[in-house]
Structure 1
Amino acid sequence: MVDSVAVNDGGAGDVTYGPVTLGVAYDGQPFAPGGASRIPDGTDTDATGDWVRNDFDLAGIPGNTGTLIDGEAVNTPGAVNSTELDEGPGPIEADCDAPTVTIGSVQGAGAATPLATGTQVEVEGVVVGDFQTGGFDGYYLQDAGDGDAATSDGIFVFAPGGADVVLGDTVHVVGTVSEFFGMTEVTAVAASVCATGGTSALPARTELTLPLAPADRERFEGMRVTLPQTLSILETFEYGQFGLITLGTDRQYQPTAIFEPGSAEAVALAAANVADSIGLDDGRGIQNPDPALHPNGEAFTLDNAFRAGDHVTAATGVLDYRFDQWSVQPTQPAEFASVLPRESLPDVGGDLRVASFNVLNYFTDLDLDVPGTDFRGANTAEEFERQEAKIVAAITEIDADVVGLIEIQNNNDGAALDTLVAALNEQAGAGTYAAIRTGTLGTDAITTALVYQSANVTPTGAYAVLDSSVDPRFDTSRNRPALAQTFTSYSTGEAVTVVLNHLKSKGSACSGDPDRGDGQGNCNLTRVAAAEAIVDWLAGDPTGQGTVGRELIIGDLNSYDHEDPIEVLTGAGYTDLEKQFTGEEAYSYVFDGQLGYLDYALAGTGLVGDVTGASAWHINSDEPSIIDYDMTFKQPAQDALFAPDPYRSSDHDPIVVGIRLTPPDTTAPTLTVTANPAKILLPTLTWRTVNLKPVASDDSGQATVSFVKVTTTGKHAQVRKISDTKFEIRAMPGTSYTFEYRATDAAGNTTTATARTDVGTVRDLIETILDWLFG
């Protein structure tokens, strides 16, 4: 950031950033400025005296006379700052018979107009998009073209308070050229309607098909377009506030959720994702518009809703570039198909269920405007009730025996945890849920916590905490402390240790641990060190219950599954259960329109065989945030979209794991070995073949057999190994060969067994012959 200036309207506790703050009466006037200009132009002494308040009534903006008084500055975007209003030579008129330039010559073949900012031009075209209301304050014109496929034939005309036009009008505009955050536009000084709608045919729609590289879209900026493909809804994050969704040919995945970070495949996928996505806006620039518009053109309601993954076909409108996004501003409804309906709770089986749930800043302290404090979540009691209702609905429907909570307020008195447990018990029945009381964990405003159904499981022993004091590699100034608790099932008497985590996020920077550009984001080394510390900590049985290997690591590890921290854990023997049961395309979170999972369930070596299923429950990541509890900025109609159900109770999906807790297998397998031949009567001194047949069985049904060794007795004994079950031995008189095998079951129990082949002596041979002759 090169420079900054802030405005403070005097609100209690308001915080501003930067060297200069323009407050109420900073220049003697009794209210805060709505805009200001540096006077003299460019002066920068980091003092309020550099800044002169702009005329509030838009003096200087074309089409506005304003009420400029002494001591105020003119609004002059793109031009030199001034306190004098240039009246000019007189009013400019738009003459439909006057010569014009092509829109293509204004647009140019590059990313920006070839004309200098402020250049006055006259253009004429058909209105292909009318967005004079809703915040854009303008319309799009498209002319017959200049014959150059590299230049766009359409352009946005910024005309606040200007002549009213409608779709299909032919309009002649006199205006100045500028770039508005990357979009070429003409600010109208004068405009005339040369032909009314209906008499001018709309230009043919240009078909845009994905993938289409961003650089190849510039030549269609401002033109009438259609998206003929059936496209999937990728992203809904900005829908509630700005009416924008993102579309692509198919759902997209985070590159590091599919490929190794920094690999050629990951880099290629990142580029492909960009080329294969485009926005579908709502033609309005205001925040939280009412009504929120569904892609089908109707108002968004709970009965006329959509989810990420649903299909949109034939979106038609004008292509423009706003807010760093290529989008279609619609001029007619699109076709819509719901193909991803809400799913029921996944059946994960087992007799014990464990879940992790991100409760998205569940704070019982509401919007406390206290300097130095970090309060998040609900701002009002009504918002809190809505938030709590959704969280309780989700957790009680999951009905897990143990639930790990993420992003709950780190109250020293445990007020947030106690409040949530009380709400759960009000819904599920008195005494159903209890909590592991830890007090404050770490220094962050949010923490992790464990709740459990006390009729099904009991905490065994004390909880354990991993923080910087236990292992300096686990930096708890960045990560939330890890929390481990062993639980014993009443029905089976068996135990499992649940280990709950919330590692440092990718978004905010870590000093000395920046984003290295390989797709893993900020603070990757911090998360790697934490994962290494977790592995070593668990190997030492931190809860002291003898459950090493029978741990279930859950929580938000803020890493996609091909990233370094996860490979540390899987490399130490922990099994990624979502990948095992759902596959490479598992997801629990959508960021920037791309799927992946940051929320994990990883089973230790002694537990993985007991896991019957694991899955995310997609109640949050696919739902638009407009239906969440938050009432900030929303209009009453959007507030009314709330329902006290599990959907959009958070931005992360809960992870649910089923476990069948069986007693540890301590019984060794059985093993028998037979040798053929077991006896070689005649010591011929030659090589003879011996075949071994080891047979193992185990109550688990799984046992593997391996050859251990062969030992010999007798002078001149010799043996050659052909395979694990085939040997050649020298038939020397009075020699013996003993073959040893080992059987191992799935639990690691072992047993050994042997078989022997004996070679007779000359005396044995004589006695055998005599027995045969005289017997």
Structure 2
Amino acid sequence: MDNPTRARTVCAALTLALTASALAAFPQPAQAAGVTVPAIQGTTRISPYNGSTVTTTGIVTAVRSTGTSRGFWIQDESGDGDSATSDGIFVYRGSSSVHTSVGNKVTVTGRVSEYYPGGGTQSLTELTSATWTTQSSGNPLPAAAPLDDATVPSAYAPANDGNSIESMTLQPTDYGLDKLESTEGMRVSVADARVVGATNTYGELWVGVKPSQNTSAGGGALYSSYSSQNSGRIKVLPLTGSAPAAKVGDTLSGTTTGPLDYSSFGGYTLAATSLGSLATGGTAKETTAAQSPGQLAVATYNVENLDPSDPASKFTALAQGIVGNLTSPDIVALEEVQDNNGAVDDGTVAADRTLDQLAAAVSAAGGPSYAYTQIDPVDGADGGEPGGNIRQAFLYNPARVSLTSRPGGGPTTANSVVDSSGTAQLKYSPGRIAPADSAWNASRKPLAAEFVFDGKPVVLIANHFNSKGGDEPLHGRNQPPARSSETQRTSQAAVVNAFVDDILAVQSDARVVVLGDLNDFAFSEAVNTLEGGVLTDLVDTLPASERYTYVYDGNSQALDHTLVSPALSSYEYDIVHVNAEFPDQTSDHDPQVVRLTP
């Protein structure tokens, strides 16, 4: 399914509301005839002719003839010489057939509309309810505007105190987002572009046109601060067919050309009519070192909504990764473990079949015979995919570690710290941390359990903080974008930090590991709150180019973390890159492992 179709289907109702509210302040000119495409586009993100019926002429540069966002792009033959005004525009036909051809010179009459494909996005200027006549055929296409290191600025977007930048005059030589907006609808090209986001299930990938911009170890674009938006990222989606199966670090060799589109799923998109050839890079899936007999190996792995209805191949691939790439850790904290029938919403909350199947797959792959511990949530109370009842769980190798079982912890029972003659113990093991606290509304509750390795107790706290759903996109109209979801994650971090403080107040040298999918960055307020001046986030101990566990919209970023208490100062830590940079992902997250000498 093509990306514009996806955006139109998901966001049609929202678009109407956004269009009415966001454009109320803009003038609505009367009907105009003989208007050039650059004049329609104007020098801001909103057309000065928005809402008006206009007549314009251009060369058809590309046709989209499938899906629910059919139509064609036209481009002015010569342009107006103003770098702030785009020379191209999309003629939207919905599900109607498109009866024109590339190279036709057409005169189009249509209503100028600003289409918002989703919440917080920018708009796509287009012509709707259009009719057209063909003046001639076989015309040469306007030259494609190059998007490269020289033409795309390093700065990403102008700031406006979090407000809309729609009325601001475009500055394409100053901001990458303005440069892309000023070429919206035009033929553009990228040459020998490195892949910074692997090909996904929609047949699209991301390239970077600024080769030295925040390069990750795998060749991606590292997202290392809120001001490092990586302006050179551009999504590529072939206008017909799919992109080749590319991984981060590969290259689209030669020239990729097509009109520049826009959607809620990633923003500016090169709708490729011609695609460069794939040149394989050197990125390979990693394998971490095995733990020594005296090291406790602890991993965390988001297994992406795992349940028994998933194909057996997913369980096999996860198991092979745990055994082969993670070298059979002693304990694995799992996130996104679903109940026994996955997304079927029938009140099922048990996940024993899910975990049994994974444990069996690990054993079949030559790994240890893992046991597991977890707590079934209250049905529908923990967010995630409806009906799935995701939760955290611990796999552990009983030949290497033992679970200190203290029963009584249920889905709504709050765990606490017990002072046993100066030794900190969990009241319940496993047990959940403050499950009734509002910080966990519609979100996963942390799972704490006590293990013993080589005669030494270690407390593990597995987390899966709330998602970034609801945050405004980096490519949106409000700059800088609002990160509303961070408020809840910061509250969640404070609750977990307070629990760790309770442990350390009883026993200052207690061995505590806090780990999981925190859905936030090492530089975020949430993660800083979780550290609280006491815990060490091991992501920060790696070379900067290695600090990523996830790739989103071409940005390599760290969402998964392992934090340790001061007593655990002897460690070897590794993010094991096996998923996020590759088209054949077992999960969308990379796992990580720490080898501790308690």
Q: Structure 1-normalised TM-score?
A: 0.55
- What's 1:393 paired with? 320
The answer to whether structure 1 residue 433 and structure 2 residue 374 are counterparts is no
C-alpha deviation, 1:345, in angstroms: 0.9
The answer to whether structure 1 residue 507 and structure 2 residue 457 are counterparts is no
- CA–CA distance in structure 1, aligned partners of residues 547 and 188 of structure 2: 35
- The answer on whether the counterparts of 2:435 and 2:445 sit within 8 Å (CA) in structure 1 is no
The answer to whether structure 1 residue 345 and structure 2 residue 282 are counterparts is no
Identity %: 27
Q: Which residue among 573, 587, 594 is the counterpart of 2:555?
A: 594
- What's 1:418 paired with? 356
Q: Which residue among 233, 243, 247 is the counterpart of 2:195?
A: 233
- What's 1:141 paired with? 74
- CA–CA distance in structure 2, aligned partners of residues 566 and 416 of structure 1: 30
Deviations 1:239-262 (A, max 9, x none): 423635354524579999745xxx
2:177 maps to amino acid:
P
- What's 1:73 paired with? none
Q: Which residue among 482, 501, 514 is the counterpart of 1:536?
A: 501
- CA–CA distance in structure 2, aligned partners of residues 355 and 145 of structure 1: 59
The answer to whether structure 1 residue 171 and structure 2 residue 106 are counterparts is yes
Within a 5 Å distance, the mapping from 1:117-266 to structure 2 comes to: 117=51, 119-121=53-55, 123-133=56-66, 136-145=69-78, 147-149=80-82, 150-158=84-92, 160-165=96-101, 167-181=102-116, 182-187=123-128, 190-197=131-138, 200-208=139-147, 209-211=151-153, 212-228=175-191, 230-236=192-198, 239-241=200-202, 243=204, 245=206, 247-249=208-210, 250=213, 258-259=224-225, 266=226
1:103 maps to amino acid:
V
- The answer on whether the counterparts of 1:256 and 1:562 sit within 8 Å (CA) in structure 2 is no
- The answer on whether the counterparts of 1:127 and 1:169 sit within 8 Å (CA) in structure 2 is yes
C-alpha deviation, 1:306, in angstroms: 0.9
Higher relative contact order (CA 8 A, sep 6+): 2
Over 3 Å counting, the alpha-carbon distance change for 1:146 and 1:355 in structure 2 is closer
Q: Which residue among 300, 303, 308 is the counterpart of 1:356?
A: 300
Q: Structure 2-normalised TM-score?
A: 0.69
- CA–CA distance in structure 1, aligned partners of residues 354 and 563 of structure 2: 27
1:549 maps to amino acid:
A
Within a 5 Å distance, the mapping from 1:621-770 to structure 2 comes to: 621-624=580-583, 627=584, 648-660=585-597
- CA–CA distance in structure 2, aligned partners of residues 406 and 180 of structure 1: 37
Over 3 Å counting, the alpha-carbon distance change for 1:533 and 1:236 in structure 2 is same
- CA–CA distance in structure 2, aligned partners of residues 623 and 175 of structure 1: 43
- What's 1:283 paired with? 239
1:452 maps to amino acid:
Y
Over 3 Å counting, the alpha-carbon distance change for 1:408 and 1:548 in structure 2 is farther
Over 3 Å counting, the alpha-carbon distance change for 1:201 and 1:363 in structure 2 is closer
Deviations 1:523-579 (A, max 9, x none): 1441232232232233266xxxx8943233222233321233433454443332232
Q: Which residue among 516, 521, 525 is the counterpart of 1:560?
A: 521
- What's 1:487 paired with? 452
- What's 1:617 paired with? 576
Give the length in aligned residue pairs: 481
C-alpha deviation, 1:653, in angstroms: 1.0
- CA–CA distance in structure 1, aligned partners of residues 551 and 540 of structure 2: 17
Greater mean deviation of Cα atoms: 178-187 or 328-337: 178-187
RMSD between superposed Cα atoms in Å: 3.9
Name structure 1 gaps, 5 residues minimum: 1-17, 19-35, 37-41, 43-77, 79-98, 260-265, 285-290, 295-299, 365-380, 510-514, 628-647, 662-775
- CA–CA distance in structure 2, aligned partners of residues 330 and 255 of structure 1: 21
The answer to whether structure 1 residue 115 and structure 2 residue 78 are counterparts is no
Within a 5 Å distance, the mapping from 1:286-301 to structure 2 comes to: 291=241, 293-294=242-243, 300=244
C-alpha deviation, 1:586, in angstroms: 0.9
- CA–CA distance in structure 1, aligned partners of residues 202 and 514 of structure 2: 36
- The answer on whether the counterparts of 1:256 and 1:560 sit within 8 Å (CA) in structure 2 is no
C-alpha deviation, 1:600, in angstroms: 1.9
- CA–CA distance in structure 2, aligned partners of residues 173 and 231 of structure 1: 35
Over 3 Å counting, the alpha-carbon distance change for 1:619 and 1:222 in structure 2 is same
Over 3 Å counting, the alpha-carbon distance change for 1:126 and 1:569 in structure 2 is closer
Over 3 Å counting, the alpha-carbon distance change for 1:277 and 1:439 in structure 2 is closer
Over 3 Å counting, the alpha-carbon distance change for 1:333 and 1:460 in structure 2 is same
Over 3 Å counting, the alpha-carbon distance change for 1:422 and 1:307 in structure 2 is same
- The answer on whether the counterparts of 1:251 and 1:594 sit within 8 Å (CA) in structure 2 is no
- What's 1:404 paired with? 333
- CA–CA distance in structure 1, aligned partners of residues 48 and 292 of structure 2: 67
- CA–CA distance in structure 1, aligned partners of residues 146 and 509 of structure 2: 60
2:238 maps to amino acid:
D
**Aligned-partner SS, 1:432:** coil
- CA–CA distance in structure 2, aligned partners of residues 111 and 525 of structure 1: 34
**Aligned-partner SS, 1:316:** strand
Deviations 1:256-288 (A, max 9, x none): 9745xxxxxx4x434xx3x4332222225xxxx
C-alpha deviation, 1:102, in angstroms: 2.9
Greater mean deviation of Cα atoms: 186-195 or 249-258: 249-258
